[in-house]
């Protein structure tokens, strides 16, 4: 069993909302691949952010559904190579159950005008629910509770990290604390594009999922935009920012292979059809691993791992803001 490193910042934390049981390749790039890469050298934590999804829950989502979603996600992650003996899995609502006083104290350092400057809030066309303003506070607690100074996430979370660093700096100055400066570690690319060209997100309905079949993946990749001016495969073509296929290819392809394919494509020696087929194969290799059922854990065993990790964090946490 992994020993929790307390009072020694050099830990890493990441989280995903268990809104359903499906992980997509945006999660793979932003969260899971970094866990696998660093789990041998750092004390890593993965938190199911069920509190942060409370304002998203409808009457059709039950506690049982959320539990099953977490177990399904854990199974996929372990199949991919996340080692539950190296990574501590936890449930947000469990580890923060007794943190109300700290939430209130931390909230005293967050102002609505500063939070409204975050891109997430700028994009809102209607007034934000008060619960949304709690998100940055709950994220700040992730680092304090797990004694982490590293976040595994996509680059679009950088504004949240910058805000939390501002708050921690203010608290350190006023209360003589030593809260950490949080460093953001992204995946191979800053974030993964969906097949429509926007950031891959369930809200955009543009995801390639880890449980997709090869036909599903190939169909979605075929929808990716390359360049409307490139009609024939033998025409010269630059790898422009608008070429979504190559943006995704960079995330899954070895650098030397990416450079070779890019050069051939630019020289008109490689067709869109070939490149999309190549990308589909690379993605499906990871999807197959996720679907392999190689964990040999029962659902009850996975749930016990999750509860044990949560309780260990609670037992070791002496946070007082």
**pLDDT at position 293, please?**
74
Nearest Cα residue to 159 out of 193, 212, 123 = 123
**pLDDT at position 30, please?**
95
Residue with tokens 């307390």: 6
Query: In whole angstroms, what is the distance from residue 144 CA to residue 307 CA?
Result: 20
List pLDDT tens digits, range 304-315: 999 999 999 988
Phi/psi of residue 44, each to 5°? -110, 145
**pLDDT at position 3, please?**
38
Q: CA torsion angle for 68, 73, 79, 82 (degrees, to 10)?
A: -130
Question: Both tokens of residue 309?
Answer: 């990790």
Query: In whole angstroms, what is the distance from residue 58 CA to residue 236 CA?
Result: 51
Contact criterion met (CB below 8 Å) for 223 and 195: yes
Own/partner pairs, 234-240, CB within 8 angstroms, 24+ separation: 234/268, 234/269, 235/268, 236/266, 236/267, 236/268, 237/265, 237/266, 237/268, 238/266, 239/265, 239/266
Own/partner pairs, 315-318, CB within 8 angstroms, 24+ separation: 316/4, 316/6, 317/6, 317/95, 317/145, 318/6
Contact criterion met (CB below 8 Å) for 14 and 34: yes
Instruction: Give me the half-sphere count of Cα atoms (radius 13 Å) on the Cβ side of residue 264.
Output: 12
Query: In whole angstroms, what is the distance from residue 220 CA to residue 200 CA?
Result: 12
Query: In whole angstroms, what is the distance from residue 296 CA to residue 75 CA?
Result: 9
**pLDDT at position 313, please?**
92
Average pLDDT for runs of 10 along the chain of length 321: 48 94 96 96 95 63 84 95 96 91 91 90 82 90 94 95 96 91 94 93 94 97 76 53 87 94 89 95 96 85 96 78 60
**pLDDT at position 320, please?**
55
Query: In whole angstroms, what is the distance from residue 149 CA to residue 44 CA?
Result: 11
Query: In whole angstroms, what is the distance from residue 318 CA to residue 245 CA?
Result: 48
Domains in the chain: ranges and CATH = 11-192+297-316 (3.40.50.620), 212-290 (1.10.240.10)
CA-based end-to-end distance of the chain:
29
171: Cβ–Cβ under 8 A, 6 or more apart, which residues? 109, 177, 179, 321
This prediction's pTM: 0.89
Nearest Cα residue to 204 out of 212, 215, 196 = 196
Query: In whole angstroms, what is the distance from residue 104 CA to residue 138 CA?
Result: 11
**pLDDT at position 55, please?**
58
């Amino acid at each position: 069993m992994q020993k929790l490193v307390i009072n020694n910042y050099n830990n890493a934390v990441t989280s995903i909302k268990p809104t359903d049981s499906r992980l997509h390749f945006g999660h793979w790039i932003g969260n899971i691949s970094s866990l696998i890469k660093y789990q041998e050298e750092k004390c890593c934590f993965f938190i199911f952010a069920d509190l942060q999804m409370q304002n998203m829950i409808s009457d059709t989502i039950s506690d049982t559904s959320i539990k099953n979603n977490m177990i399904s996600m854990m199974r996929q992650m372990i199949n991919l190579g996340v080692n539950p003996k190296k990574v501590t899995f936890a449930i947000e609502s469990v580890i923060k159950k007794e943190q109300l006083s700290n939430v209130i104290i931390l909230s005293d350092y967050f102002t609505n005008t500063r939070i409204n400057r975050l891109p997430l809030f700028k994009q809102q066309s209607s007034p934000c629910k008060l619960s949304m303003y709690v998100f940055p506070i709950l994220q700040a607690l992730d680092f304090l509770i797990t004694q982490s100074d590293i976040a595994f996430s996509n680059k679009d979370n950088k504004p949240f990290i910058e805000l939390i660093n501002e708050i921690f700096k203010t608290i350190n100055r006023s209360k003589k604390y030593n809260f950490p400066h949080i460093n953001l570690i992204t995946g191979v690319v800053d974030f993964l594009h969906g097949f429509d060209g926007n950031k891959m997100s369930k809200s955009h309905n543009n995801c390639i999922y880890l449980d997709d079949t090869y036909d599903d993946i190939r169909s979605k990749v075929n929808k990716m935009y390359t360049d409307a001016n490139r009609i024939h495969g033998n025409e010269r073509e630059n790898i422009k920012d608008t070429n979504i296929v190559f943006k995704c290819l960079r995330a899954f392809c070895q650098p030397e292979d990416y450079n070779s394919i890019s050069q051939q494509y630019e020289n008109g020696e490689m067709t869109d059809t070939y490149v999309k087929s190549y990308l589909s194969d690379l993605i499906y290799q990871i999807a197959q691993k996720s679907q392999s059922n190689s964990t040999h854990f029962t659902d009850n065993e996975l749930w016990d791992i999750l509860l044990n990790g949560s309780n260990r964090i609670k037992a070791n946490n002496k946070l007082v803001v």
